[in-house]
Structure 1
């Protein structure tokens, strides 16, 4: 995956340099900011494809940066880097617009897998660009879920997850498969992350009572429509 522009915000200079050089050795273009204000400035100037944000940074923390970016861009993938591991911190990250969450210390291979997973755009034939899900219309390319004249902009991760649920509609979408496909692995924190995204999709689909995402305990999820 070449020519991908990554904005890396990490105030620990040595770690930032290691991550930057590692990504650049794999043909990513990396812009490194050492605080939140610098990250926002670089975001505006460089128009990156993905943000990798340390949570604890001077001037503005990673959650604040993500929240401000989300005011104008709902689609760009955001990965948080943090030494924190409490579930409340993980959930706060997703509530502030994050798509993924990587605990320190982490391996470069794991970071790269997660970056690629988030940037793995859904490949569809033109005749499946618009999908009917009950009374909803799902524009996969634009990541918009519509009900009558009400349009909801989905994040990239929400759109990916909904598409895979639709592909398996009325069947079980295997939990391990989708965790590995979209999150890179099926560990506990990623599983909790997926549960959060399933809850978000349920809320966005609640206007049609015939559309449901049910939990098939021990196996995965099923989209009924």
Structure 2
């Protein structure tokens, strides 16, 4: 019995160096495993400021323009998050655009996508359209100072509109999100931006000619410089100590 035990111990001892050498051996991850990754985490309390800016502009062939802009800024002093909306319009000097005759079909599934969905569908000539989503992360630990937000306050379930020769812009707060839509005059087309429920949607349909459309959504995040607390540091040190017993 003693001989059997000693042989078992000797076999385990001989196997341990080989086992330890493979613990941290790099291996290639499969695409299916990478698909489950969600990016880096953020420790609680590190985000000290968060803001959203959304704007849409439509300019037609005559130079008529309509713009909608919505913004929100949240920091430690914010009691209730609030969107502020501004709408502006201007008249061009060109002749009234010809009524758009283009027809765009399909695309019903674009409104039910997950994540970020962007689309531009055109049935006219000489059009220009942009969909832009930006995320700016600052790690300087300084929240924007004295931000003065102006415009009309958007209440839940409410809608704010603005008109010009180019069309009508409508900004609404529905289903826990924000939507900004433009319906262009003279059947030139329409555009929409929407954020909420973990999804971002930007879409433009062009049925006329020589239109310029720009959709932009910008997320601004400021991170604090607060370091790890004693609890987190001790946890990391304990992990390092466990590696020493394995020869690392």
Structure 1-normalised TM-score? 0.21
Structure showing the higher strand proportion among its residues = 2
Q: Larger Cα Rg: Structure 1 or Structure 2?
A: 2
Structure showing the higher helix proportion among its residues = 1
